[in-house]
Every structure is written in C-alpha cells, then in structure tokens.
C-alpha cells in the first residue's frame, strides 16, 4: 500500500461557472476561466483552455467553438466539462511525469444541486482520471476557507456570490441548517451591463467587454468613498452600425446592477426569516460573511449592511476562499463528517 500511496496525489478543485481553481500541495496551481475551445470538425480536439480560450471567446470562425461547460454552477455540457477538467489537471504537472499519478480529488458543488447533477460532476472527474472523488458543498468549503470553525454549535451565515449562482447558507455543527440559492450572480451582472449600454447608449458590446467593465468600475452603490474613474468602452453603434467609443461612469453601472442586487438582498432576508431563532442570535453577533467573485463589487458590503442592519465581512481573498477550504477538507477528509464519498 505504501507504494500505491506514493503515486496517489491529492488535488482540490473548485469547479466554478466563471473560474476553475485547483490546489495541489497547499498552493493554488491553476486559476483559469472555465472555458474551453474545441475544433468543430472533431469535438474531442481541444484547441485551448482557460485564459487562452477566453481570448478566443466571441471572436471565433465557424471551425472553432468556445464552450463554457458550466451553467448556474452545474455541468451543462458533459463532454466539454470532462475535456476541460482533463486539460486543467495537466497544468498541475507541466512536465509529463514518468508514472502518471492516480488522483484523489475533492470537488465542491453548490448546495442546491440535484442528485443527477452531482452524478455528472463525479462522472466527469472519473473520466478525467480520478481514482477517488469526494464532494463537498461550496458553503462548507467557503466557511473553512474563511477560517470559521464549522464544527462548533454556533450559527454562521455565508453568502457566496459566484458566476452562476448566489448561495446564502446558514452553517452550524458542521452541517447546513438552511440554504437559499438564486441564479443571480456574476453572469447576470454582466448581462445587466450589456443591456444597460444597449438601452441608454445604443451600443452593442460583447460579454468579455461587459465583464471588463464590471471588474474595472462595477459598483453596488452610487456614492462610493473612493470612486473609480470613468472608462472608455468600445462597441458597435446600433444606429449606424459603425464601431464607436463612449465613456462610462460607475454610477451608470451601479444603476444597471441595482435590480439584481435587490434580488440578492431579498434572498438574504428570506434566508434570515427561515433561520432558527438561536442561530439568528449568533448571526446578529457575528454578522454575515461575503465570499465569491461577486464580493469584490465595490460598495456591496456597505449596501448589504445598510439594508440588513447587520455587520457584513468580506473574506480576505474572496475568489480563493472556496478552493482553500476544499483543500483543507481534503487534507483531513476522514475527519470531517460533511464530506460526501
């Protein structure tokens, strides 16, 4: 068995709608967008994955196809997902090892996932070369990654705003007490920005440009303490059909995102209503924890704490807290009861 253990390598994967991260030996070795570019004539042929494929996204001709295999936090295109996982795992060892290791993988999944979708994650990991696959719910992983002791009898509320879904979860005693999941998150914000520019400036922009706007000047409130500068945005004029450039301010973006953020606030209030009173008392003392890429939106923590009147803490590195927690859970996977075999 000793020899076998030598060949078994452990990796923790955060398979997200927008980004996929892999931790190996306690460090993040892969942090790539969840997108893959395939050859249309031979769909088994991967042309690019991650950042390279994102460069091609929305700029392809008919023989290249870029696919985002995950929709709303779950696998939508099984084939592409398996190819993507396989290529990303190859990035862990850039040099091809003499004996390819057998992987012990832990993958995190949304807590609102169905059995069928869970099966899809497990199968695509096994197809990509995993010997053992463990699953863990994202809010649990996020709580571990933030540094919360999940096993104590104290309630914590974790709000994970990812690419496809926002999960609002109350955790106590190493289990999920109640959870709300809505399909409004990063992708929806991006769509809102595209729609707003189309409506108010009659400018057509692509998904990637909208994503860049969101990262550079995205905001949840119209009055920020240190506001970002206006940025130039290039796109196609819908009236003349000629490419043009406009200047966009963060206030416009805040207005565009207002509806979606309001829905997130509603979902948080709904989750708080479902919380048992003792845990609600704990949450009042501890506040809410924000994690996921959406937590980086400027002024979001301030806006939520004004609405809900509770302290809101943003995790240190919100994009990586889930994968860090997955890595911690993988280290002592026998010890934690919430790991799914």
Residue 143 is assigned to a ligand binding site: no
**Per the annotation, does 293 bind a ligand?**
yes
Residue 71 annotated in ligand binding: no
Pairing of strands 64-67, 70-71: unpaired
Place of tokens 């104590």: 152
Q: 213 a known binding residue?
A: yes
Please tell me the distance from the alpha carbon of residue 43 to that of residue 59, in angstroms, as a whole number: 18
66 among the known binding-site residues? no
Q: Is 196 annotated as a binding residue?
A: no
Residues facing 14 on adjacent strands: 21, 108
- Is 295 assigned to a binding site? yes
Q: Say if CB 169 and CB 178 are below 8 A apart.
A: yes
Is 59 known to sit in a ligand binding site? no
Question: Does the annotation place 19 within a ligand binding site?
Answer: yes
Q: Is 294 annotated as belonging to a binding site?
A: yes
Is 3 flagged in the annotation as binding? no
Q: Is 245 annotated as a binding residue?
A: no
2 carries a ligand binding annotation: no
211 is in an annotated binding site: yes
How far is 274 from 93, CA to CA, in rounded Å?
46
Binding site for ATP, by residue number, is 17-19, 163-165, 211-214, 293-296
Binding site, by residue number, is 17-19, 163-165, 211-214, 293-296
């Amino acid at each position: 068995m000793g020899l076998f253990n030598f060949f078994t390598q452990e990796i923790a994967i955060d398979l997200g709608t927008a980004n996929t991260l892999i931790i190996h030996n306690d460090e993040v070795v892969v942090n790539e967008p969840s997108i893959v570019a395939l050859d249309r004539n031979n769909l088994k042929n991967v042309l690019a994955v991650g950042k390279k494929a994102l460069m091609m996204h929305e700029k392809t001709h008919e023989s290249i196809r870029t696919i985002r295999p995950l929709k709303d936090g779950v696998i939508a295109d099984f084939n592409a997902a398996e190819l993507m996982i396989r290529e990303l795992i190859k990035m862990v060892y850039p040099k091809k090892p003499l004996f390819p290791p057998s992987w012990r993988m832990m993958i995190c999944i949304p807590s609102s996932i169905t059995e069928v979708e869970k099966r899809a994650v497990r199968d695509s990991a096994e197809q990509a070369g995993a010997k053992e696959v463990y699953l863990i719910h994202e809010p649990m992983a996020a709580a571990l990654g933030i540094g919360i002791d999940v096993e104590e009898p104290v309630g914590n509320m974790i709000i994970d705003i990812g690419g496809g879904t926002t999960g609002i979860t109350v955790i106590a005693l190493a289990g999920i007490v109640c959870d709300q999941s809505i399909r409004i998150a990063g992708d929806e914000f991006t769509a809102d920005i595209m729609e707003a520019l189309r409506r108010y400036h009659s400018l057509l922009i692509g998904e990637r440009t909208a994503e860049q706007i969101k990262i550079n000047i995205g905001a949840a409130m119209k009055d920020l303490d240190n506001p970002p500068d206006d940025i130039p945005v290039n796109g196609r004029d819908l009236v003349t059909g000629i490419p043009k450039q406009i200047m966009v301010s963060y206030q416009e973006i805040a207005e565009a995102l207002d509806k979606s953020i309001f829905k997130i606030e509603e979902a948080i209030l709904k989750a708080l209503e479902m919380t048992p009173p003792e845990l609600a008392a704990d949450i009042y003392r501890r506040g809410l924890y924000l994690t996921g890429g959406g937590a980086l939106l400027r002024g979001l923590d301030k806006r939520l704490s004004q609405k809900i009147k509770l302290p809101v803490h943003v995790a240190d590195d919100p994009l990586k807290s889930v994968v860090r927690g997955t890595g911690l859970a993988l280290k002592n996977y026998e010890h934690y009861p919430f790991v799914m075999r």
